[in-house]
Amino acid sequence: MLNQWLISLFGIDPLQEHTGKTRPFHILADPIRDPRMEGLDADNLHKFYHNFTASNIFWNQYCRVSKAQILVYEENIVRHTREINERRQRKIVWKYYQWLTLLFTEIYLDRFFSDCEALARELNDYVEKFNRRWADYADIPYYSEAVLETRLLPPLNKFKKIWKKKRMSC
């Protein structure tokens, strides 16, 4: 459910019938699948970032994540990757699907720590759409702020202050 909701933030409707073999995630991933895009460019940003934000596939009136927000998330991904790589002999070079997962994580954590109540509302709006679309399946239960804080991210709650402090210093 979270993955579909995150994809929907880019103006791609995972609940819509998609023709052929193109699935919603692949629509998002297509601009960055080329392995030659792995690694950082001269600006110390992932080559994925540049191709992702330059793509016109999903930037439309339904997209709810701005290119400016993506840049902030990308800078966080780069900073954390560098911190990890400082202690490694073999440096991490992300694959496109790993980079998208990190981007999704940044988006989720930003919304979780900024306004958990608003995140729960957004998720519940998506759950409602999902349940209407797939009425034959068992209803997906709604999220509450308590569920988000106690079930989905309990280990992260203790790092909430640290995370916010790091965000503010960036």
pLDDT in tens, 64-93: 999 999 999 999 999 999 999 999 999 999
- Dump pLDDT digits (tens) for 32-41: 999 999 999 9
d(CA 9, CA 58): 10
Answer yes or no: is pLDDT of 153 > 80.
Answer: no
Per the structure block, which two tokens stand in for 132? Answer: 């209407």
Q: Which amino acid is at 57?
A: I
pLDDT range class, residue 102, cuts 50, 70, 90: very high
Residue 124 makes CB contacts below 8 A (sequence gap 6+) with: 142, 143
**Do 106 and 76 meet the contact criterion of CB atoms below 8 Å apart?**
yes
pLDDT at position 156 over 60: no
Whether 170 has a pLDDT exceeding 50, the answer reads no
Alpha helix locations (H) across the chain? Answer: 2-8, 24-29, 47-54, 67-85, 96-114, 116-133, 145-147, 154-157, 160-169
With 60 as the cut, is the pLDDT of residue 159 above it?
Answer: no
How large is the average pLDDT for residues 13-20?
Answer: 75
Q: Would you state the pLDDT for residue 167? A: 53
21 within 8 A of 135, measured Cβ to Cβ: no
